Amino acid sequence: MAEVKFAWWSYWSLIFYRARPPRRLSPQCASACRRNVAQIAVNVIVIIMIITVTVVAAAAVLIVLLILVVVVVVVVVVVVVVVVVVI
């Protein structure tokens, strides 16, 4: 039971404080804990990468839409000016 209680806080303590697992843990448990910490770190990095790519893609789409709106407005203004000048 002590090993289970250790698990919930051990990830962050090992990541941020580089703490060693308490001696009461078996070597297998300590090794599994280190593997879990490494997996959590990889998962966090992947999540950050996914969020970054999503934000960049959304910004690119918004920029393209803004350019399209500007082009449409310019075309409409040019057409209106040409019609007014011709009439």
Q: Quick check: helix, strand or coil at residue 8?
A: helix
Q: Which residue has the higher pLDDT, 24 or 47?
A: 47
Kindly report the pTM of this predicted structure. Answer: 0.51
Q: Quote the percentage of the chain above a pLDDT of 90.
A: 43
pLDDT digits (tens, 9 = 90+) for 44-59: 899 999 999 999 999 9
Q: Specify the pLDDT at position 34.
A: 76
DSSP string, 12-57: HHHHHS-PPPPTTS-HHHHHHHHHHHHHHHHHHHHHHHHHHHHHHH
pLDDT level of residue 1 (50, 70, 90 thresholds): very low
